[in-house]
Amino acid sequence: MEIDHLLSTTRAVRRKLDLDRPVEAAVLEECLNLALQAPTPGNAQAWRWLVVRDQRVKDRLGGLFREVGAAYLADREAGDAATRRGLASGQHLIDVIERVPVFVIPCLKGRPSGENATDAAFYGGIFPAVWNFQLALRSRGLGSTLTTYHLSRETAAAEILGVPAGFTQVGLLPVAYTTVPDFKPAARVPLAEVAYLDHWGAPLS
């Protein structure tokens, strides 16, 4: 896939996940190996990647996901058509979560400290790799969404998964083949409104 197309069309996939098509171990390992090529602070590579396929484990995690996700969506205002579509898409993922073939839970050694410089490096030690993983999935016909709902029940999830003390879960990615071959670039706030030249507020061009 051409690189700019990949970068501009890797979406959060929820409705277009193929819940019936198995995901081979080999394709997941390829994508995880590409995730491991991402940069980390001091080359720490302090990550762990939990791949969940066991239906009983997915059922238990899915319960946490639904509990938190449903409460979050219930609090959101419907707003314009795009927001309504986003909420419906979020609700769909919550409705089917246990049926998604694979969950991937990226974890990091340590805990955030509440201090910006430290925490930027802490979370920066995994999110580039998570995005590498999502791009690699997309280039192979699979889709995912980075979700954070279940982190409100992180301790319960750690017990289910056996995550040791001292490791932080940073998300849960439901992973499946997609039911469509391609996606479109998303509407975003224009660059001119969010990028400045030399001084805050100064136009970039």
C-alpha distance across the termini of the chain, in Å:
31
CB of 185 to ligand FMN, least distance (A): 9
Q: How far is CA 94 from the centre of its chain?
A: 14
Report the distance separating Cα 127 and Cα 106, nearest Å. 9
Cβ partners under 8 Å of residue 183, min gap 6: 9, 10, 11, 13, 138
Closest-CA residue to 50 (of 143, 133, 141, 120): 133
Binding interface with ligand FMN (CB under 6 A): 11-12, 86, 90, 93, 145-149, 186
**Closest distance between ligand FMN and the C-beta of residue 203, in Å?**
25
Amino acid at 10: T
Indicate the residue among 62 and 90 with the shorter CB distance to ligand FMN: 90
Q: Which is nearer to ligand FMN, 50 or 93 (CB)?
A: 93
Q: Which is nearer to ligand FMN, 31 or 172 (CB)?
A: 172
Choose between 93 and 102: whose C-beta lies nearer to ligand FMN.
93
Shortest Cβ 24–ligand FMN spacing (Å):
25
The distance of closest approach from Cβ of residue 30 to ligand FMN in the complex, given in angstroms and rounded to an integer, is 22
